[in-house]
Amino acid sequence: MPAIVTPDICDAHPEVRTLDPLFVNFGGIEAFCGPVRTVKCFEDNSRVKEAVEEPGEGAVLVVDAGGSQRCAMLGDMLAEKAAANGWAGVVMFGCVRDIDVLAEIRLGVQALGAHPRRSEKRGEGQRDISVVFAGATIRPGQWLYADNNGILIADERLMLED
């Protein structure tokens, strides 16, 4: 697969949408892409756990956690599960924790920040729906491209040059 360089992708594909520059790279893989799967939840990561326990098949889990800064929605155990199950990455509109360990896991992880407190577990949330945050609507099946420059959303897989 060609290198993911979001400025080059923007130049070659002006139709892509960019997420507002709110995210920090926490994962062991700094550039990643894949088809989108979504979770919408607030301070309850039950649906995130459910998703990463399934085969990822190179997809990116996009989590609308409501932008909460009061707890982490992904930590080392769920990130390790995601990596083991073939997820390319997780984009979290919320916080993550265990960031020193996340940096060692072969998974792309971008989030708003770090928080030491874990989330609730009430079984709440929705999966595979459109989510809206950071200036974009993101739908399951779209493609996400991410690196240290930013996060892009395309309606379909892009042909990238080597």
Section 74-92 average pLDDT: 98
pLDDT in tens, 93-116: 999 999 999 999 999 999 999 999
Q: Is 20 annotated as a binding residue?
A: no
Q: Is 97 annotated as a binding residue?
A: yes
Q: Is 159 annotated as a binding residue?
A: no
pTM: 0.97
Residue 133's contacts (CB-CB under 8 Å, 6 or more residues apart) are: 19, 64, 67, 93
DSSP string, 101-138: HHTTSSSEEEEEEE-SSBPB-SS--EESS-EEETTEEE
**Domains of the chain by residue range:** 6-154
Homologous superfamily, domain 6-154: Ribonuclease E inhibitor RraA/RraA-like (3.50.30.40)
pLDDT in tens, 12-65: 999 999 999 999 999 999 999 999 999 999 999 999 999 999 999 999 999 999
CA distance 22 to 83: 24
The per-residue pLDDT for 162 is: 63
Helices (H), 13-120: 46-52, 76-84, 99-102
Q: Is 102 annotated as a binding residue?
A: no
